[in-house]
A and B are shown apart, each in its own frame.
Chain A
Amino acid sequence: MRPTLLIVDDHPGFRSLARKLLAAGGFEVVGEAADGHAAITAARQLRPDVVLLDIQLPDIDGFEVTARLRDGEAGPAVVLTSTRDRADYGPRVDQCGARGFISKAELSGAAVHAFLGATG
């Protein structure tokens, strides 16, 4: 069975491209959200296996959203993404409880799968 995935990003252009790319890459995209609060609500309702989460959101940032989603072990695996480079965010990426970070330009189904394989 294909893993389910929620896309969180405030740019609709990116969301539609990412949906196509990840659908082609072996994921079932179950939903999209445009900001942090919508992401938390959607994750509770849809219970996706993975959340692809943009770090810069209009309301609360991706680190904060990750912390709330990971509250309790049952939460989804979070993969952070950004137009910026991982180096722009320093150690926060590792500390927030996310499974990993993918730069937007390098996004692919295989890259997301790689993080899921890492710990289960």
Chain B
Amino acid sequence: MNPRLRLALALAALAGGLVNLALLLRTGHGRPEPLAFLLLVIVGVSWSFVGAGLVAWSRRPANRTGALMVAVGLAFSLNGLRLVGTPLGFALWFLVATLPAAVLAHLIAVFPDGRATTRLQRVFIAVNYATTVPLALVQLLLVEPARLGCGGCPDGLLGIGGRRPYGEAVLAVSGLIEVGLAVLLLWILVTRWRRASGPRRRSLAPVALVGMVLLVLYLIQEALLVVVSRPAPFDVGFDLAILTLLMLWPLGFLAGLARARLDRSAVGDLAVELGEPLPPGRLEQALARALHDPTLQLAYWLPDRHAFVDAAGRPVELPTAGGDRAVTVLRHDGDPVAALLHDAALEDDPALVRAVAATARMTIENERLQAEVRAQLEEVRASRARIVEFGDAERRRVERNLHDGAQQRLVNLSLALGIARSQVGTASEEEIALALDEAAAELRHTLAELRELARGIHPVILSEAGLGPALASLAERSPIPVTVTAAPPDRLPPRVEETAYYVACEALANAAKHAHATAVTINARQHDGRLLVEVGDDGVGGADPNGSGLRGLADRVAAVDGHLHTDSPAGQGTRITAELPCES
């Protein structure tokens, strides 16, 4: 906050207090003793609130709590008007007399955020202020001054007098409104306390407890006013208790701030703890302890994946703004390094979170690298499992093809030959020739199927002649028209050729089977030490890169340190691009 403003507010509070004290001295004798004593305490309350408020304001400028505390303090110094001693002075005091309590109620209702977050809070604050000066004005107009506490005032204080019949009703309604507001505030406090998380309760505690005691005291006092006819001694006693509590309350709040400062010594402890090598996962616990948030979660940024992961390499979702959870992202040269996912209450003290994060930066960087390695390991494990599974599935497929195809045909061939054999001697030569023709046809089909199957296992043209001829042969045999727009003229390392061919085969199979494409282009070209294989079709698009086919393809490409990219917007065809390093 602006130092000039701070000085001005401090001086205003000091001056207000001193004026009050001067008024107290000037009135000298004849003043009601309990009142004089109460006023001394009120000056204490005023200075205490303004002082603590200014400290809080400077420490957490974004939080309105400090400003509200200063406002409470300044409002309390208005009480000196009571001592001016003239009816006009009394009337002025009476008009603003409920302001200190109203600002205080506002403060209690929104502590520690400093702003209303629920509708109930907003309604309370609005009604709370609406019933200060306007209600006092009605009372001044309609109630006889003696009932308001000004024994020596003339009946028509503001020029209107003799409205007694209404006066009592006004007092009763005012009392009901005040009690209603107190009960509502108590309700707000209790519900907020019950819903608050651990860290939030820590910051809510000083005001919630004092606020509840204050409200309960006030309600007892009101109840006594109804029961006891002459409540003055009780009244002064209660006022004194309430004011003393109020005077001490900002000190308690300051103690809370000091505890936050002490928490920075927890940062020191953290620094010591981080001096030793930590077992995995312990860093998160150490940070949770330093920030007093057992729900704290540490997530590391993986630039490769553009995602946050936990220490075990599993993906972590960041919370959205406005909820119970908040996130503080740690950056290095503008790039994210890690994120602390914590209770939103910690946002009250961003400096503490930053201090803890800065202290742990080196360790976090180390753990991030470890998390990155673990995530890669996790990915390698997963892809290894998928590759093994894929290999097994392929073997099952080959077995099934052999069984349903070639084997079945060979059985038929054997039966046909058996029939021909059984016909020798009994049937005509034509019949036997017919049976043998059937057997020969079966054999030709069998050979064709076996060739196709063998080519599916490994196309011999690929190893004999290279990728270009293999792609041309693939295009020739394809059921949908395929254009090969480019193919590398030279031979490439066998692993690269095989992977490139496999990409083309799979993409072609997908285009025919899933995309219902009518044309496919294959483009394979070398660029900058890499082989780029692009297969585009004019099909329905919408291919899922995480489906088993494309996932298997990506694994296969990753196995030669390549990258697979799938671009398949719905209704706009599919383009699969593999980038394969081909320097062996």
Instruction: Give me the interface of A with B, judged by CB distance under 8 Å.
Output: 11, 13-14, 17-18, 20-21, 24-25, 83-84, 104-108
Contact = CB atoms under 8 A, between A and B. Distances in A.
Do most interface residues of chain A lie in helix, strand or loop, or is the interface mixed? helix
28 contacts: A11-B408, A11-B412, A13-B408, A14-B411, A14-B412, A17-B412, A17-B416, A18-B415, A20-B419, A21-B418, A21-B419, A21-B422, A24-B419, A24-B422, A24-B423, A25-B422, A83-B407, A83-B411, A84-B403, A104-B411, A104-B414, A104-B415, A105-B410, A105-B411, A105-B415, A107-B415, A107-B418, A108-B418
Nearest to A88: B403
Interface in B385-405: 403
Nearest to B411: A104
B197 to A, nearest CB: 59
Which DSSP category, helix, strand, loop or mixed, fits chain B's interface?
Answer: helix
Contacts of B414: 104-106
Among B407, B412, B414, B423, residue most surrounded by chain A Cβ atoms (within 10 Å): B412
A84 B414 CA distance: 14
Contact of A17 (B410, B419, B423): B419
Contacts of A14: 408, 411-412, 415
B395 to A, nearest CB: 15
Range, interface on chain B: 10 to 19
B442 to A, nearest CB: 8
A13 B412 contact: yes
Interface in B328-354: none
Contacts of A13: 408, 412
A76 B416 CA distance: 27
Contacts of B407: 83
Given A13-B412, A17-B419, 9 more contacts: A14-B415, A18-B415, A21-B415, A24-B423, A83-B403, A83-B407, A104-B414, A105-B414, A108-B418
Contacts of B403: 83-84
A86 B419 CA distance: 23
A18 to B, nearest CB: 7
Contacts of B412: 11, 13-14, 17
B449 to A, nearest CB: 13
Contacts of A20: 419
Contacts of A17: 412, 415-416, 419
Nearest to A106: B414
Interface string B408-436: 10111011101100110000000000000
Nearest to B438: A17
Contacts of A83: 403, 407-408, 411
Which 7 pairs between the two chains have the least Cβ-Cβ distance? A17-B415, A104-B411, A105-B414, A83-B407, A24-B422, A20-B419, A13-B412
Contacts of B416: 17
Nearest to A104: B411
Contacts of B408: 11, 13-14, 83
A71 to B, nearest CB: 30
A104 B415 CA distance: 8
Nearest to B409: A13
Nearest to B422: A24
Contacts of A108: 418
Nearest to B416: A17
A41 B422 CA distance: 32
Contacts of A18: 415
A52 to B, nearest CB: 12
Contacts of A84: 403
A25 B423 CA distance: 11
Contacts of B422: 21, 24-25
A25 B415 CA distance: 12
Contacts of A24: 419, 422-423
B339 to A, nearest CB: 55
B448 to A, nearest CB: 16
Interface in B438-469: none
B380 to A, nearest CB: 36
A76 B403 CA distance: 28
A77 B415 CA distance: 22
Contacts of A105: 410-411, 414-415
A106 B417 CA distance: 11
Nearest to B435: A20
A84 to B, nearest CB: 7
A36 to B, nearest CB: 18
B303 to A, nearest CB: 52
A56 to B, nearest CB: 8
- Which residue, B403, B407, B408, B411, has most C-beta atoms of chain A within 10 A? B411
A21 to B, nearest CB: 5
A24 to B, nearest CB: 5
The interface centre, meaning the residue of A17, A18, A24, A25 with most chain B CB atoms within 10 A of its CB, is A17
A11 B416 CA distance: 15
A24 B414 CA distance: 15
A14 to B, nearest CB: 6
A111 to B, nearest CB: 10
A72 B162 CA distance: 115
B553 to A, nearest CB: 31
A64 to B, nearest CB: 20
B327 to A, nearest CB: 56
Nearest to A109: B422
Nearest to A17: B415
A50 to B, nearest CB: 17
A91 to B, nearest CB: 21
Contacts of B423: 24
Contacts of A106: 414
Nearest to A11: B408
A81 B423 CA distance: 24
Contacts of B418: 21, 107-108
A105 B416 CA distance: 10
Nearest to A103: B411
A107 B414 CA distance: 9
Contacts of A104: 411, 414-415
Nearest to B427: A24
B195 to A, nearest CB: 60
A20 B415 CA distance: 9
Contacts of B415: 14, 17-18, 21, 104-105, 107
A83 B406 CA distance: 10
Contacts of A21: 415, 418-419, 422
A14 B410 CA distance: 11
